[in-house]
Chains A and B, each alone.
Chain A
Amino acid sequence: MEVKKAAVAGTLESSDAQVTVEPGNGSIELSIESSVIHQFGKQIRKTVLETLDRLDVKDAKVNVVDKGALDCTLKARVECAVYRSNDITENLPWGGVIK
């Protein structure tokens, strides 16, 4: 999926993450800031990259500000931001590329 415009999802509350996506420069450019970076930095990056991969996003700037979100929340925020950048809110592929 293409990231057509800048979009954001999530909040900066505890246990949440705020994910911003923007059109990229030919690849995935990921930046992560997290209150639990030492313990979970690796896992956060893995989850975000896997989610982008499932959504077939290959070209985007992605910024994650994490406040201790679980993987399920990280996925939800990435997906939401990507679909928002495409203005899609209906007939989503639940259980397909969203899983």
Chain B
Amino acid sequence: MINAVGREIPEEILKKTGKEPFKGAYVYDNYEYTKAAPKARTMMDPKRSKLVENIHDVLVKCGIKDGMTISFHHHFREGDYVVNMVMEEIHNMGIKGITICASSLGKANDPIVPYIEDGTIVGIQSSGVRGKIGEAISTGKLQDLAIMRSHGGRVRAIESGEVRIDIAFIGAPTCDEYGNMRANGGKSDCGVLSYAMVDAQYADKVVAITDCLVPFPNIPASISMINVDYVCVVDEIGNPAKIATGAAKPTTDVRKIMMADYCTQFVINTPYFKNGFSYQTGVGGASIASTISLGKIMEERGIKMGLGLGGITTPMCDLLAKGLIDKIVDTQDFDMGAIESIKSNPNHIEISASEYADPFNKGAYVNKLDFVILASLEVDVNFNCNVVVGSDGMITGAQGGHPDTAAGAKCTIVIAPLLQGRIPAICTNVTTVTTPGETVDVVITDYGIAINPRRQDLIECMKGVNLPFCTIEELRDKAYAIVGEPDPVQFGDRVVGIIEGRDGTIMDVVHEIKQYEFKD
């Protein structure tokens, strides 16, 4: 069946998953449903301890068995040790058929690939995967379909009961013996624990894993003891050097700075750029440069941001410190500056992934965004974006909050250099659709800027603005004139994964990768 972004979703996949094809970004608005609820076990005897000696014992106490679904968060990013540590023990115990439901998985988790190959792990549900796990999925080593969900979509899947988490493992930079977890302090500071909050509320068993046990009560807690079954202390939950790097130096790449300047000029010429506006940006060089150049104009014109949202980097915190932002509302910290800021600045506030982006709660922050500045591997002439599958057909990225913020923001801007080597970023058809074009308003490249024709209002307000506007087809044609017209990636027949829309429908499927063949 062809879905609303023109993608063929095989009937067998619809049948197998019980899902519907994507029908549009807002068709589930006002939808009524009953939330799922976890099993809980009471804790009445004050003499009983939640502390468990090691991962093995905690797995036994949680009743680990074949076929369970377990969950993790990715706040330790490329410095994470928790996933590998738990999976190694599960593997050693001879457990099979595990499904991992993680907020994301990165290269740090490459060591679990052998467990995919030997059937310890049969399912992966994640915002995305990089490195060797992506290769394993793309080459058909995972038994079940991989499911790629946005950050908001993951919360929806858990809250609606589509996914039932048997055991949630939550790495906590600090924790007390009763399970109050905080993201700050200890050896593995990560700033916030936003993605893990829903796991704590909806998993049947919740395990805190920490390398810094602190005296009770560890408050204010990001995750409260009331949801925690066990606390396990280990030597190290992560590598601090890789959890948060120093603030990235502002880019000196003229191309990125140029695109950032285009972006800033665009932003300030929209009607949304006024006192109290809300804004989110990613961590790419051009996104950060946009924040910096926008900050200068805010200062010049005395315009303050009311809300800065999302994954946070130092340049946003600098604006907060200067009084140019009223509140930063934070779900992830990308560098040391952001972590320091949330510790010390009372206007820098931790929220849950549900508050951030969940389409199935009663209103998330993304819906209040004026601007979001995003990146994309590919954008097609219908403004559909691909942020998950690489140009070689391999799964290599994550949806993150891309589809959530795009759907929520009044003005969604995607910045992408027109060419990455020989690969055109603007193309006729993206390899895989992850964010529907109806939610993407503007594409900024080094060769020109295209506004989505659905946004005649934006086209109107850019009349007379001195920026290199053109159509998205013109951008594609410029790219093809330089590099040639690319052939589509040659995939195998087998579907290895699905890209889930934030409402739980199927946005696209990912096929198994195939050795390239010359066809005459």
Contacts and interface: CB of A to CB of B under 8 A. Distances in A.
Interface of A: 14-15, 35-43, 45, 67-71
A67 B486 contact: no
B41 to A, nearest CB: 51
B31 interface: no
Interface in B272-313: none
Interface string B363-397: 00000000000000000000000000001110000
Q: Is the interface of B mostly helix, strand, loop or mixed?
A: loop
A39 B423 contact: yes
A74 to B, nearest CB: 10
A36 B423 contact: yes
23 contacts: A15-B422, A35-B421, A36-B421, A36-B422, A37-B516, A38-B392, A38-B393, A38-B487, A38-B488, A39-B486, A39-B487, A40-B422, A40-B487, A41-B516, A42-B487, A42-B518, A42-B519, A43-B484, A43-B487, A45-B518, A68-B422, A68-B423, A70-B483
Nearest to A43: B484
A67 B421 contact: yes
B487 A70 contact: no
Nearest to B424: A39
A15 to B, nearest CB: 6
B489 interface: yes
B421 A14 contact: yes
Nearest to B491: A38
A42 B422 CA distance: 14
Contacts of A39: 391, 422-423, 486-489
A37 B514 CA distance: 12
User: Which of A35, A38, A42, A45 is most buried by chain B, counting CB atoms within 10 A of its CB?
Assistant: A38
A41 B484 contact: no
Contacts of A42: 487, 518-519
Interface in B484-519: 484, 486-490, 516, 518-519
A42 B516 CA distance: 10
Contacts of B516: 37-38, 41
Nearest to A42: B487
User: Which of A68, A69, A71 is most buried by chain B, counting CB atoms within 10 A of its CB?
Assistant: A68
Given A41-B518, A68-B422, A35 B392 contact: yes
Given A36-B423, A37-B392, A40-B486, 18 more contacts: A15-B422, A35-B392, A36-B392, A36-B421, A37-B516, A38-B487, A39-B423, A39-B486, A40-B484, A41-B487, A41-B518, A42-B487, A42-B519, A43-B487, A68-B420, A68-B422, A69-B422, A70-B483
Contacts of B392: 35-38
Contacts of B465: none
A40 B427 CA distance: 14
B3 to A, nearest CB: 24
B511 to A, nearest CB: 12
B482 interface: yes
A31 to B, nearest CB: 11
Contacts of A35: 392, 421
A67 B422 CA distance: 8
Given A41-B518, A42-B518, A15 B486 contact: no
A39 B518 CA distance: 11
A65 to B, nearest CB: 14
Contacts of B422: 15, 36, 39-40, 68-70
A37 B519 CA distance: 12
A70 B486 contact: no
A67 B423 CA distance: 11
A39 B422 CA distance: 9
A56 to B, nearest CB: 23
A99 B484 CA distance: 18
A62 B423 CA distance: 24
A42 B484 CA distance: 11
Nearest to B422: A68
A13 to B, nearest CB: 10
Nearest to A32: B518
A38 B518 contact: no
Given A14-B421, A36-B421, A40-B422, A70 B482 contact: yes
Interface string B382-420: 000000000111000000000000000000000000001
Nearest to A47: B484
A38 B511 CA distance: 14
A92 B288 CA distance: 49
The 4 closest A-B pairs by CB, nearest first: A68-B421, A39-B486, A68-B422, A38-B489
Contacts of B421: 14-15, 35-36, 67-68
Contacts of B486: 36, 39-40
A16 to B, nearest CB: 10
B492 to A, nearest CB: 12
A15 B422 CA distance: 7
Nearest to B515: A37
Interface in B141-188: none
Nearest to B484: A43
User: Which of B420, B487, B490, B519 is most buried by chain A, counting CB atoms within 10 A of its CB?
Assistant: B487
Contacts of A70: 422, 482-483
Contacts of A40: 422, 483-484, 486-487
Interface in B408-458: 420-423
B391 A36 contact: yes
